[in-house]
């Protein structure tokens, strides 16, 4: 960013001068002092630059923050994404499937490291390359299409190795090189086929009260981690004790579920497979906590990709109809070993409407023809499971709850094009109890949530096809009013607006 900013400074007739004092390796400190040949002089500390516009001659000093804001404005004329800080996170705000992968794919071209911090193969991110070729990713970070980016699977992720290797094979078959570009944490937990089997048995037990999991074994694997009999990636480096740990996992499952088959022969067969996996995974295994923090210290730009979304967070979501990890901002720190004071921009991704897969309360859900129309228009079937997604209007109450928890700096509003052609569009702006009382926040009590009456605000729809629009000013007036009303209700800018699935189908709102 320093080079780009320096160019911006020069283009405005300013002189950038090196500061002679001590420099900081992590943060730039800027000051504007005096003039030189009739031009404002910008002193630079720590490699950063700023614009001294509007500074009087004669040594008037400027606040660094004000200067940096001017730098960002100048640089944004060259690249709308240049103002993003060294560490940027992209997190889901709803019940998943918001389109996080697309933004990560686009931003990855401007970052050195892209990291996944939690979840497993239950996360499905669909992205497209410049040729329109489709890629469905589950464990591999969405930055993999950028050949200059290193992708990290952090310690908070649970990894099913057969699926992981299959994903790599599919990528390489399409010409995407993963060698040396994909790192896996030695602290990440291994997800075995037995976890998948247990997942199915657990759902069968629940009968009519099923959670609606993807049956990918995510919950049982996190359960193994929590009760401390889980097996980590680093254990593959110690095969002499691996079988004993595997046997404990099998015995535990057999003791819990009558339908679970256990024998020494089954464990031996699984062990045989993992001896092969250990050799194959060896080159990928790294202490990613050390890697990510060293990358930060070296000034590398780090992009963090969340799986699932806040309303599925095991602490903050619609429990128990949630995932088994923390897809909210706290999962970044625990899932990568990165300190919270290093986080910069946190972008919350929200569909222009809402969807949900699986069971659980969903206040703004549409039924019948309305819901089906939205599903067809948005191609709302799960990337991971293929299940039809439940569809409804944008829930501002839930969105504001997610904004509060995560401290988003901006919103990426996706799939605005799906709403084209509707006579009117609605926003769920408040929850009321059956007695007519407004709720202050998103309730934790599902019995309350299931009974709320949603207060809607109706806005005019737009008929125009917006899939080829690339400038905010070119959007229909009604579409602009919809976006701006969301900004008013959330207090956050909708900085990125998706109008189609392709990489270029993105409006950057200045």
Q: Cα separation of 87 and 342, whole Å?
A: 7
446 and 340 co-located in one domain? yes
Q: How many domains does the chain have?
A: 3
338 and 420 co-located in one domain? yes
Confirm whether residue 19 is marked as ligand binding.
no
Strands 39-44 and 87-92: unpaired
Number of alpha helices (DSSP H) and beta strands (DSSP E) in the chain: 14, 22
Of 424, 446, 502, the C-alpha closest to 469 is 502
Q: Cα separation of 218 and 199, whole Å?
A: 8
User: Does some domain include residue 197?
Assistant: yes
Q: Cα separation of 361 and 454, whole Å?
A: 13
Confirm whether residue 34 is marked as ligand binding.
no
Q: Cα separation of 329 and 44, whole Å?
A: 33
Sign of torsion over alpha carbons 317, 136, 85, 341: positive
Of 368, 358, 352, 378, the C-alpha closest to 311 is 358
Domain stops at, among 266, 284, 302: 284
pLDDT of residue 156: 98
Q: Write the CB contacts of 58 (distance below 8 Å, at least 6 apart in sequence).
A: 34, 35
Q: Cα separation of 147 and 130, whole Å?
A: 13
264 and 320 co-located in one domain? no
DSSP letter, residue 434:
T
Of 72, 142, 64, the C-alpha closest to 495 is 72
201 and 162 co-located in one domain? no
Confirm whether residue 384 is marked as ligand binding.
yes
Helix (H, G, I), strand (E, B) or coil at 152: strand
User: Does some domain include residue 81?
Assistant: no
213 and 359 co-located in one domain? no
Q: Could you tell me which residues are beta bridge partners of residue 42?
A: 16, 32
249 and 296 co-located in one domain? no
Could you confirm whether 195 is annotated as catalytic? no
Confirm whether residue 241 is marked as ligand binding.
no
Torsion-angle region of 337 (φ positive above 0: left; ψ -120 to 50: alpha; else: beta): left
User: Does some domain include residue 28?
Assistant: yes
388 and 503 co-located in one domain? yes
- Of residues 105, 112, 125, 196, which has the active-site annotation? 125
CATH of the domain at 492: 3.90.170.10
pTM over 0.85: no
Domain stops at, among 250, 284, 318: 284
Q: Could you tell me which residues are beta bridge partners of residue 345?
A: 88
Q: Are 253 and 221 in contact (CB under 8 A)?
A: no
Q: Are 103 and 89 in contact (CB under 8 A)?
A: no
The tokens describing 177, both together, are 């090189």
Confirm whether residue 174 is marked as ligand binding.
no
Distances (CA, A) of 159 to 163, 360, 481: 8, 26, 43
Confirm whether residue 387 is marked as ligand binding.
yes
pLDDT of residue 125: 78
User: Does some domain include residue 321?
Assistant: yes
User: Does some domain include residue 36?
Assistant: yes
pLDDT of residue 70: 55
Residue 288 backbone dihedrals phi, psi, to 5 degrees: -70, -20
Could you confirm whether 73 is annotated as catalytic? no
Q: Write the CB contacts of 227 (distance below 8 Å, at least 6 apart in sequence).
A: none
Domain stops at, among 284, 313, 338: 284
Q: How many CB atoms lie within 10 A of CB 204?
A: 11
Element (H, E) at 196: helix 193-206
324 and 426 co-located in one domain? yes
Confirm whether residue 200 is marked as ligand binding.
no
Low-confidence ranges of the chain (pLDDT < 50): 1-62, 64-65, 68, 71-77
DSSP letter, residue 372:
H
pLDDT of residue 209: 61
Confirm whether residue 364 is marked as ligand binding.
no
CATH of the domain at 214: 1.10.300.10
- Of residues 138, 160, 196, 225, which has the active-site annotation? 225
Residue 132's Cβ-count burial label (10 Å; 0-12, 13-18, 19+) is: exposed
Confirm whether residue 213 is marked as ligand binding.
no
406 and 267 co-located in one domain? no
DSSP letter, residue 388:
B
Q: Cα separation of 76 and 502, whole Å?
A: 22
Helix (H, G, I), strand (E, B) or coil at 361: coil
Q: Are 269 and 263 in contact (CB under 8 A)?
A: no
Q: List the 424-432 sheet strands across, edge first.
A: 394-395, 424-432, 453-460
354 and 458 co-located in one domain? yes
Residue 51's Cβ-count burial label (10 Å; 0-12, 13-18, 19+) is: buried
Q: Cα separation of 184 and 155, whole Å?
A: 8
pLDDT of residue 212: 60
478 and 403 co-located in one domain? yes
Q: Cα separation of 390 and 293, whole Å?
A: 40
pLDDT of residue 207: 65
User: Does some domain include residue 82?
Assistant: no
Q: Cα separation of 199 and 203, whole Å?
A: 6
Could you confirm whether 509 is annotated as catalytic? no
The tokens describing 84, both together, are 């993003």
- Of residues 97, 105, 112, 186, which has the active-site annotation? 97
DSSP letter, residue 214:
-
Confirm whether residue 96 is marked as ligand binding.
yes
9 and 101 co-located in one domain? no
Distances (CA, A) of 473 to 237, 413, 419, 424, 497: 56, 16, 18, 21, 12
Q: Cα separation of 108 and 140, whole Å?
A: 13
Of 120, 494, 168, the C-alpha closest to 325 is 120
Confirm whether residue 195 is marked as ligand binding.
no
The tokens describing 366, both together, are 């549409």
Range of the domain at 35: 2-76
- DSSP for 112-125, please give it: SEEEE-SB-TT--E
pLDDT of residue 291: 98
User: Does some domain include residue 503?
Assistant: yes
User: Does some domain include residue 70?
Assistant: yes
């Amino acid at each position: 960013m320093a080079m780009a900013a320096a160019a911006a400074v020069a283009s405005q007739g300013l002189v950038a001068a090196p500061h002679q004092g001590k420099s900081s390796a992590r943060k730039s400190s800027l000051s504007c002092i005096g003039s030189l040949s009739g031009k404002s002089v910008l002193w630079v500390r720590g490699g950063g630059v700023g614009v001294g516009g509007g500074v009087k001659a004669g040594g008037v000093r400027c606040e660094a923050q004000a200067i940096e804001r001017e730098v960002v404005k100048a640089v944004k004329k060259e690249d709308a994404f240049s103002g993003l800080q060294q560490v940027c996170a992209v997190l889901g705000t709803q019940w998943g499937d918001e389109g996080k992968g697309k933004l990560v794919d686009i931003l990855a071209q401007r970052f050195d490291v892209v990291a996944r911090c939690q979840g497993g193969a239950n996360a499905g991110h669909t992205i497209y390359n410049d040729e329109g070729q489709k890629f469905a990713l589950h464990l591999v970070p969405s930055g993999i299409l950028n050949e200059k980016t290193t992708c990290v699977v952090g310690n908070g992720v649970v990894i099913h190795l057969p699926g992981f290797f299959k994903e790599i094979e599919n990528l390489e078959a399409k010409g995407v090189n993963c060698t040396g570009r994909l790192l896996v944490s030695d602290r990440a937990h291994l997800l075995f086929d037995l976890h998948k089997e247990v997942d199915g048995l657990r759902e069968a037990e629940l009968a009519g009260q099923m959670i609606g999991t993807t049956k990918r074994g995510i919950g049982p694997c996190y359960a193994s981690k929590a009760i401390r009999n889980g097996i980590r990636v680093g254990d593959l480096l110690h095969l002499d004790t691996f079988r004993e740990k595997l046997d404990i996992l099998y015995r535990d499952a057999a003791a819990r579920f009558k339908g679970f088959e256990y024998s020494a022969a089954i464990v031996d067969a699984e062990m045989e497979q993992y001896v092969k996996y250990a050799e194959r995974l060896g080159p990928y295994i790294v202490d990613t906590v050390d890697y990510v923090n060293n990358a930060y210290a070296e000034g590398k730009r780090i992009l963090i990709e969340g799986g699932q979304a806040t309303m599925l967070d095991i602490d903050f979501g619609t429990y128990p109809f949630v995932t088994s990890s923390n897809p909210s901002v706290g999962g970044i720190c625990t899932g990568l070993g990165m300190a919270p004071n290093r986080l910069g921009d946190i972008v919350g991704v929200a569909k222009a409407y809402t969807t949900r897969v699986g069971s659980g309360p969903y206040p703004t859900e549409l039924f019948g023809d309305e819901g089906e129309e939205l599903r067809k228009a948005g191609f709302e079937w799960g990337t991971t499971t293929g299940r039809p997604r439940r569809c409804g209007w944008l829930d501002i109450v839930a969105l504001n709850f997610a904004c509060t928890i995560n401290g988003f700096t901006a919103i990426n509003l996706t799939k605005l094009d799906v709403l084209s052609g509707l006579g009117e569009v609605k926003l769920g702006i408040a929850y009321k109890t059956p007695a007519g009382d407004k709720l202050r926040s998103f309730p934790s009590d599902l019995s309350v949530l299931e009974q709320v009456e949603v207060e809607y605000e109706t806005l005019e729809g737009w008929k125009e096809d917006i899939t080829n629009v690339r400038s905010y000013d070119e959007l229909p007036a009604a579409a602009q009013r919809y976006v701006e009303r969301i900004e008013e209700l959330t207090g956050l800018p909708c900085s990125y607006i998706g109008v189609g699935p392709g990489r270029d189908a993105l409006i950057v709102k200045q």
